[in-house]
Structure 1
Amino acid sequence: MSDKYAVPNKLPGKTVSVLAHRKRRILQDKATIEQKKALKTKRISGLKKHHKFRRPESFVMSYLKAERTAKRMKRTIVRNNLLDTNDASKTNEKLLLVMRHAGKKIFDETTNKIFKTLNMPYRQNAVFLKNNKEAQILLKVIEPFVVYGYPSLNIIRELMFKRGFARINGKKTPIQSNALVEEHLGDKGIICLEDIIHEIYTVGPNFDAVKEFLCTFMLSPPRDGWKNKVSVSYKRGGEYGDRGGDINELIMRCL
């Protein structure tokens, strides 16, 4: 037994029971330990409650941002006359490469649904689209959050070889052989990776089947960062929106 609970080395004024003295010291130590645990628990719970606290302004700002986004979409549709389906002269069956570069958290539900439809749930996601009327409407609505343009054949090849993955049974699978391509797209006459690249570049009849076979491309942030303000359109000296052929230089910096 440790000397911690021993009787003090002095003559007591009255008869002292060794066991009673030892028991009292043990109880005192237990009470001290319990008190420290209680204080620690109270302090931790207080910290948790502090982190859960949110200022009322944070809720208001969410609704304000969603309302501003909805109003911007309405203005864009009216200004560009996007609902006029009779004007087919603006429809261009070229290939578009679209990359989401902004909007880590978007409060507008319509914008979130469009990104979900395009399989672009996160920033730095990139997809190929047909440049038709439907794509133009969607891109005008989500334009502040994306950059897009016409990719070159070299950029398509670089994307496929460096960031290309297939979706097999709902799982992201690397394309390690042409046998994998032939197994899933052979009935469409596509038997190798070069056939996929050709089908995408020419926007061929099996473009949708190839898109369904491929996963969304996950790119890196541009090397040396963004050169201009991401909240300003490319036509006005910023970053977002239609870049035409200049999209190729940006994608090379993201690979």
Structure 2
Amino acid sequence: MSDKYAVPNKLPGKTVSVLAHRKRRILQDKATIEQKKALKTKRVASAKRHHKFRRPESFVMNYLKAERTANRIKRTIQRTNLVATKDADKTNKKLLLVMRHAGKKIFDQTTDKIFNTLHMPNRHNAVFLKNDKETQILLKVIEPFVIYGYPSLSTIRELLFKRGFARVNSKKTPIQSNTLVEEHLGDKGIICLEDIIHEIYTVGPNFDAVKEFLCSFMLTSPREGWKKKVSVPYKRGGEYGDRGDAINELIMRCI
């Protein structure tokens, strides 16, 4: 066998230091971190410079929106004469399902307080309400931001089974068993989810207690999007406002 294929039995000509390699890696990692910090600082500074200039209208836009909303509320009350209506107590006692579809940021304090009172602080919240005089007044004030109508029994059942949550100790808790219902509403004769559905649909004597027990339903934007203009009332070919029985089809697309 030729000697050229023999393995050379020689030590490396250059001494390899493990500590030197480790020091070099540490310095490289430190340099990489410093470079990333410098790039991040540069991006933040560039973003601040980009948004430094603001148009004068942007400073007063919120106040203009709040003023327009307040003027609309005044015109609505004057036009419909809601406060002075004598036959307001003769409104239909049907159940109403109200969904907030717009108004991610509301700058009018009156409208914002109404939404907080109705437990609809966020967009796509939905609640059940009695169709009485007080509800009609509130709905006229916040009408451009909501969609409401008469829910069917199947719609109520779908909402409770798919999007139903209870308010237990001020915390949002999923309704996983009838035991939870019986613990909080058993003294009122409501021991299961079907009893809650019946109480809501019939607007029974314990409707307020059931409504306080349930959290507002968190829905989504309708599948396939909005078919008409959201800024136009339903009676004029738009989306918002009173939809009557047609709200059931919309809610099914939002669940």
TM bin, normalised by shorter chain, reads: 0.7 to 0.9
Q: 1:38 to 1:176 in 2, by over 3 A?
A: closer
Instruction: Tell me what 2:189 maps to.
Output: 189
Is the aligned partner of 1:240 residue 2:237?
no
Label 1:184 to 1:89 Cα distance change in 2 as closer, same or farther (>3 A). Answer: closer
CA distance in structure 1 between the partners assigned to 2:113 and 2:89 by the alignment: 28
In the aligned structure 2, how far is the partner of 1:102 from the partner of 1:242?
15
Query: 2: distance between equivalents of 1:78 and 1:185?
Result: 42
Q: What's the CA shift string for 1:39-79, capped at 9, x where partnerless?
A: 98577446435435533211222111111111111111111
The root-mean-square deviation of aligned C-alpha atoms, in Å, is: 2.0
How many percent of aligned residue pairs carry the same amino acid? 82
Q: Structure 1 CA distance, aligned partners of 2:177 and 2:186?
A: 13
Partners of 2:89 and 2:132 within 8 A in 1: no
Using structure 2 for the length normalisation, give the TM-score.
Answer: 0.81
Distance 2:73 2:174 in 1: 37
Distance 2:235 2:185 in 1: 40
Query: Residues 44 and 251 from structure 1, CA distance in 2 versus in 1: closer, same or farther, beyond 3 angstroms?
Result: closer
- 1:113 equivalent in alignment to 2:113: yes
CA distance in 2, matches of 1:55, 1:215: 41
Q: Distance between the aligned counterparts of 2:96 and 2:158, measured in 1?
A: 16
Give the letter aligned to residue 199 of structure 1. E
For the residue of structure 1 that corresponds to 2:127, the secondary structure is strand
Matched residue, 1:215: 215
Secondary structure of the corresponding residue to residue 235 of structure 1? helix
Q: CA deviation at 1:136?
A: 0.3
CA deviation map 1:127-170 (0-9, x unaligned): 00000000000000000000000000110000000000001111
1:72 is aligned to: 72
Alpha-carbon spacing, 1:231–1:43, altered in 2? closer, same or farther (3 Å): closer
Change (3 A) 1:69 1:40: closer
Runs of at least 4 residues of structure 1 off by over 6 A? 37-40
Q: Alpha-carbon deviation of 1:245? A: 0.4
Structure 2 letter corresponding to 1:79: R
Structure 1: distance between partners of 2:136 and 2:111: 14
Query: What is the CA–CA distance in structure 2 between the aligned matches of 1:105 and 1:243, rounded to whole Å?
Result: 24
- Write the distance in 2 (CA, Å) between the matches of 1:237 and 1:210: 35
Aligned counterpart, 2:17: none
Pairwise CA distance, 1:91? 1.9
Equivalent position SS for 1:142: helix
Q: Which residues of 2 match residues 85-96 of structure 1 at below 5 A? A: 86-88=86-88, 90-96=90-96
How many equivalent residue pairs?
Answer: 220
| CA apart distance, 1:176 | 0.6
Which residue does the alignment assign to 1:251? 251
Question: Given residue 69 of structure 1, which amino acid in structure 2 is its aligned partner?
Answer: T
Unaligned runs of 5+ in 1: 1-33
SS class of match (1:210): helix
Distance 1:46 1:63, change over 3 A: same
Structure 2 distance, partners of 1:43, 1:216, is 41
Change (3 A) 1:122 1:44: closer
Gap runs ≥5 in structure 2:
1-33
Q: For residues 89 and 208 of structure 1, do their structure 2 counterparts lie closer, same or farther at Cα, with a shift above 3 Å needed?
A: closer
- Deviation track 1:168-220 (CA, whole Å, cap 9, x = no partner) reads 11111110111110000000100000000000000011001000000000011
Q: TM-score, normalised by structure 1?
A: 0.81
